[in-house]
Amino acid sequence: MGLFDKLAGWLGLKKKEVNVLCLGLDNSGKTTIINQLKPSNAQAQDIVPTIGFSIEKFKTSSLSFTVFDMSGQGRYRNLWEHYYKEGQAIIFVIDSGDKLRMVVAKEELDTLLNHPDIKHRRIPILFFANKMDLRDALSSVKVSQLLCLENIKDKPWHICASDAVKGEGLQEGVDWLQEQIALSNQNDENMRPS
């Protein structure tokens, strides 16, 4: 990064662009979460199941996010892997109320983690245990147990309980993600020969 870019970054003139993949089973609330993170004037009123995928953008204090909101329906899940190369971070959304399909979410997560484009990268993964407002929702601890998140050793990860309809729990997750990206940028710069 040149001095000017850095200066622009500090002054908030030009933000660093980050590509994020938003993954998870259908109906888990991916689109609802992304919608909440957008500026209120750009938010959609009603949310329908995503077909294929859609690209959304939102900004935080230091970063400009480009989100690939993938469809979680079974027949579109094979599209996910085509975007793994571009992704610099992953948001993985789980419906904490859908106990039955927790195994399916785990299966998709394991497939993702073992994919050659992901396996050897230190890509940060943010988990949202969404729909925590539902009466029979599992806690984020239980969700991380069922998905065996403790086995992820070579990637930074974080799980937050969230309620995407009210927007609760989302900020905590995004703050963590921003921090991780900042950290990895520092490392990159430290490693770069000058």
Partner 1 sequence: MSSVPMEMKENTVASSKWLDAHYDPVANLYTFTSCIALADLHGDGENKLVVGDLGTGACNMKLKVYRGTGLLSENTLLDLPTGLVSFLMDKHEPRTPAIAVASGPFIYIYKNLRPYFKFTLPPLEVNALEQDVWSQAKEDMIDPMTLKEMLEGIRDKADIPLSVRSLRFLMLEPQDMEEFVNLHKQQPIRRQTVITCIGTLKKNMADEDAISCLVIGAESRDIYILDPEAFTILCKMSLPSIPTMMDVTGQFDVEFRITVACRSGNIYILRRDSPQPKYCIELSSHPVGLVRMGKNVVVGCAQETLQCYTQKGKKLWTTYLPAPVTTMAMMDLPTRGFQAVLVGLANCEVHVYRDKNLVSTIKTPDVVTSICFGRYGREDGTLIMTTKGGGLIVKILKRTAVFEEKDSVPGPPLAQSIRLNVPKKTKLYVDQTMRERENAIAMHRAFQMDLSRMRLAAARAYVKALESSQTPMSASLSEPLKMNAVVQGLGPSFKLTLNIQNTAACRPVMNLAISFLYDEALYSMRTAFFKIPLLVPGLNYPIDTFVECLTDKGISDVIKVFVLREGKSAPLLTAHINMPVSEGLALN
Ligand X SMILES: Nc1nc2c(ncn2[C@@H]2O[C@H](COP(=O)(O)OP(=O)(O)OP(=O)(O)O)[C@@H](O)[C@H]2O)c(=O)[nH]1
User: Which one, 80 or 128, has the nearer CB to partner 1?
Assistant: 80
Closest CB 76 distance from ligand X, rounded Å: 8
User: Which one, 50 or 162, has the nearer CB to Mg ion?
Assistant: 50
- Residue 151 assigned to a binding site: no
Interface residue with ligand X among 20, 21, 23, 31 (CB under 6 A) is 31
Q: Which does 130 bind (CB under 5 to 8 A by kind): ligand X, Mg ion, partner 1, none?
A: ligand X
What lies within 8 Å, CB to CB, of 112 at 6+ separation is 23, 80, 84, 90, 92, 118
Told to check if 140 binds ligand X by CB under 6 A, we report: no
Interface residue with ligand X among 101, 152, 165, 176 (CB under 6 A) is 165
Told to check if 32 binds ligand X by CB under 6 A, we report: yes
- Residue 72 assigned to a binding site: yes
CA–CA gap between residue 155 and residue 84 (Å, rounded): 15
Told to check if 32 binds Mg ion by CB under 5 A, we report: no
What order do you get walking across the sheet with 157-161 strand by strand? 53-59, 63-70, 16-24, 89-95, 125-130, 157-161
Told to check if 104 binds partner 1 by CB under 8 A, we report: yes
**Site mask, partner 1, residues 120-159, x = CB under 8 A?**
----------------x-----------------------
Interface residue with Mg ion among 35, 50, 130, 162 (CB under 5 A) is 50
* 73 part of the active site: yes
Active site residues: 73
Which residues contribute to the annotated binding site?
Answer: 24-31, 50, 72, 130-133
